[in-house]
Amino acid sequence: MTARLFPLFADLRDRTVLVVGGGSVARRKVAALLDTGARIVIGAPALDPGLAALADEGRIETIHGDFDAAWLDDIWLVIAATDDGAVNRAIAATAETRRIWANVVDDAELSSIHLPARVERGPLQIAISSGGGAPMLARHLREQLETQFDESLGVLAELLRRSRASIRERLPDLPARRRFFDRILAGPIPALLRRGDAISAERALQANIGAASPVRGRVALVGAGPGDPGLLTLRALRLLNEADVILHDRLVSADVLALARRDAELIEVGKQVGGDHDATQSAIHRLLVDHTLAGKRVVRLKGGDPFVFGRGGEELEALRLHGIDFEVVPGITAAIACGAYAGIPLTHRDHAQSVRFVTAHTKSDDDGIDWRALAQDRQTLAFYMGVSGLERIRDRLIAHGRSASTPVALVENGTRASQRVITGTLGELPELARAHRVSAPAILFVGEVAALATRLHWFGATPLQRAPAPAARGEPLARAA
Ligand code: SAH
């Protein structure tokens, strides 16, 4: 990977900037520097009329002649804007040894600092860089942004700047301040400014500041879906963008977490396999309550849907006990998502009139599961958390009458780039999983529809089939045609 440029905004007030070159390119660079408060010095044998006029007005200083290393004395930044490549190179080289930032016009390689394409609205600036590789693209984006952001944004930025101190004083707590600004920006003030009514906007802002008080945090219990971030709901995405704290399970994919607000605090509260689940659960309850009472906007992010084998209900009970407000955002549960991404329709007119979501995560024989009902045909079973209990699932279902030839499919890492689908029959299920080393997270489908994966698969790798015969273990795995 090539190194990235680091974006900075420079305070050039009363700092000397040298522009070498006296033509139109130099004039454009000087124009961009004029309102920065920098002391601008132009070095060139001759100046174009525009630059000469600026010099006459005393807005820039000039040095006449060819570039000399002594011009770099006491300089912070130099812009090489001559039409002579050798001179530009000499300027860049000298600046480098003197640790002075240098921009060589139209030469990304020689530049230690790049000047971005800019969109300006009052004090607000949006800077775009392509890293020097595609300046036309940056320019194109700038033109698009120019049409998107109207001039009133500058007035808004200025208004907020003037009120900054009083807002801070009123709301010293950062999350509370963030909520205040979210409310202001979603409220009528931007529209008032777009209509040019700065006086009403200012009055509305002052009224809001006066009424502002730190408010209590709240919790959103959010389903993150199975992994592919494209399967998040719009509401989940919005909440991830607003959250101060995100408590997430290990099951939540990195791609989803990457969409969280940059400065949100991410806390993984995943339960360790074999760990004490009840202790972990009460630690989660405590984290939820503590952060919320501290005024934070908390997102409790769970894989799939929070109410499907997610203990979401228990967490809400704990919040209710403390009188904390919450909302619940459903997510796409593993069975639905993995079915879709593996080409397994969960119901089918010819094969299955119902579907059941079952957890296989029970240890004892007296597990309270109605195996007789599960063993009935013309239904699809989706077993969550099943990887370690496949033997039992097979034995129970067959003992209660489901045929050993019933199709099954295991979907591992469903909807993610690493998705694997393994198809076979109920009778060979444990061997199937062992042969292909299936690991969590994986979901098991049992029923006629599981066989459709070999024909309807469309995402990721082609389904793997059947366990290799014992003698052939270790050979390349068979793949469906
Ligand atoms: N609330 C979650 C389920 C939590 S239980 C949901 O609605 O999906 C965890 C189980 O979900 C895992 O053991 C596995 O069986 C299943 N699972 C979750 N994500 C999965 C994925 N991306 N691929 C396959 N199975 C998944």
The string of pLDDT tens digits covering residues 207-256 is: 888 887 666 678 999 999 999 999 999 999 999 999 999 999 999 999 99
The predicted pLDDT at position 211 comes to: 80
Q: What is the average per-residue pLDDT within 4-27?
A: 96
**Quick check: helix, strand or coil at residue 41?**
strand
The CATH architecture that domain 335-465 belongs to is 2-Layer Sandwich (3.30)
301 has a pLDDT exceeding 70: yes
**Quick check: helix, strand or coil at residue 457?**
coil
| Rg, the chain, Cα only | 32
CA of 264 to the centre of ligand 1 (A): 25
Specify whether the CB–CB gap between 39 and 62 falls below 8 A: no
- Going by pLDDT thresholds of 50, 70 and 90, the confidence category of residue 476 is very low
Mean per-residue pLDDT of the chain: 91
| Fold category of 16-115 in CATH | Rossmann fold (3.40.50)
Percent share of the chain, pLDDT over 90: 78
Longest dimension (CA), the chain: 99
CA of 383 to the centre of ligand 1 (A): 9
The predicted pLDDT at position 404 comes to: 97
Whose CA is closest to 408, among 447, 366, 377?
Answer: 447
**Quick check: helix, strand or coil at residue 293?**
helix
**Is the overall model pTM greater than 0.75, yes or no?**
no
Ligand 1 atom closest to Cα of residue 384: 15
Torsion of CA 104, 107, 109, 113, to 10 degrees: 40
Q: Catalytic pick from 228, 244, 249, 305?
A: 249
Ligand 1 atom closest to Cα of residue 413: 23
List, in sequence order, every residue forming a beta bridge with 124; answer none if it has no partner: 121
Q: What is the pLDDT of residues 63-76, one digit of tens each?
A: 999 999 999 999 99
Q: Which two tokens stand for residue 357?
A: 């979501």
Whose CA is closest to 242, among 266, 261, 217, 228?
Answer: 261
List, in sequence order, every residue forming a beta bridge with 41; answer none if it has no partner: 18, 61
Q: What is the pLDDT of residues 103-161, one digit of tens each?
A: 999 999 999 999 999 999 999 999 999 988 898 999 999 999 999 998 999 999 999 99
Question: Domain residue spans in the chain?
Answer: 16-115, 152-211, 218-332, 335-465
CA of 414 to the centre of ligand 1 (A): 9
The predicted pLDDT at position 195 comes to: 94
Q: Catalytic pick from 29, 244, 271, 305?
A: 271
Rounded Cα gap, residues 300 and 310, in angstroms:
11
The larger pLDDT score, comparing residue 365 to residue 98, is at 98
Rounded Cα gap, residues 453 and 440, in angstroms:
20
Pocket around ligand 1 at a 6 A CB cut-off: 226-227, 251, 302-305, 308-310, 333-334, 338, 384-385, 411, 413-415, 440-443
Whose CA is closest to 219, among 141, 151, 290, 298?
Answer: 298
CA of 298 to the centre of ligand 1 (A): 23
**Quick check: helix, strand or coil at residue 478?**
coil
- CB-count burial class (<10 Å; 0-12, 13-18, 19+) for 467: buried
Which CATH class, in words, describes the domain spanning 218-332? alpha beta
Ligand 1 atom closest to Cα of residue 253: 22
302 is catalytic: no
296 is catalytic: no
